[in-house]
Amino acid sequence: MARVSALTYRETLWSDLFEGSRPSITCLEPAVLSLETALGLAPKPEAHPSSLELGPDLRRHVVWRMDGGFGCDDHLRWLLARNYHIMVKGFSGRRAYHLAQQVKRWDRYGDVWLGRATLPIDLGRRIACWVKRRPKAGQFEHSYYLTTLKLPSKGVAVNLYNQRGGVEIEQFRQDKQGLHLSARRKQRFLAQKALILLTDLAHNLLADFYHSALVSSRFADFGLKRIVRDLLAVEGCIQFENDQVRHIALLETHPYARTLLDCLVRYCSPG
């Protein structure tokens, strides 16, 4: 299963299920092409298929921040040719070692050291490269990173790269625990794929509920699991009239009832 998410809004932008055991690197192009369609970055119908005049003014504001599973040269060239920015960990451990031999000055940031290096290949755009070394088992372990962004320091670049990790921690864990994605399994491939898409729909509806009703309340730090387990499980009833909510009642003795009622009224109110 592969996923692209917008963490600030808690939304899932794209998910898909692939047959067999596929490495991350094979999922990049389907993810990018799907998001281009969803976000209005795809070619206009009247444009020639080979044309890159498909919203470069929009694409140049998009940064693909990815871990090493996506950082091979061919895929990076493909992204850069489509006018995107990148913030990515390189794919090759052997190259990281050789780049580390270029570094003339190592600066310490926390428990790692960073140094600038020059990428030995041309990716078609100006690329900043730095190497990270970390002590492990009495030796240094090396990795390298690439970006097209103009950043004031290596420390800022590392902090920006490290922010990409929330998808695995927040999105997958929340869906597995809150929506029981890991507990539900279908025998047929298409049925399992449909289940994942339905989970995405539920996830995004709850994300909308959070931003529309909970973000300014005492529930602002609730994740998807707590919203489902602690809020949506509060007993009560909602009355409709002509497809409009007319009355909301919650179990008065529940400790969240009064605050949740205010949130539900705000969520159901027009505008």
Per residue in 94-125, pLDDT (tens digit) is 899 999 999 999 999 988 999 999 999 999 89
pLDDT exceeds cutoff 90 at 200: no
CA 6 – CA 34 distance, rounded (Å): 14
The one-letter amino acid at 167: V
Query: Residue 15's pLDDT band (boundaries 50, 70, 90)?
Result: confident
> pLDDT category, 48, cuts 50, 70, 90?
low
What is the structure's pLDDT at 253? Answer: 94
Choose the weakest-confidence range: 38-47, 129-138, 206-215, 254-263. Answer: 38-47
Q: 66-75, 98-107, 175-184, 255-264: lowest mean pLDDT where?
A: 175-184
Per DSSP, helices labelled H in the chain are 28-38, 56-59, 73-81, 93-102, 154-162, 166, 173-178, 189-209, 224-226, 257-268
Predicted confidence band of residue 7 (pLDDT cuts 50, 70, 90)? low
**Range name among 136-140, 163-167, 213-217, 247-251 with the lowest pLDDT average:** 163-167
Give the mean pLDDT of 228-240.
Answer: 92
Q: Which of 135, 156, 161, 168 is nearest to 146 (CA)?
A: 161
Instruction: Determine the straight-line distance between the first and last CA of the chain, rounded to whole angstroms.
Output: 36
Give the CA distances from residue 59 to residues 27, 42, 86, 126, in Å, rounded to whole numbers and listed in that order: 20, 10, 11, 17
pLDDT at 50 (0 to 100)? 47
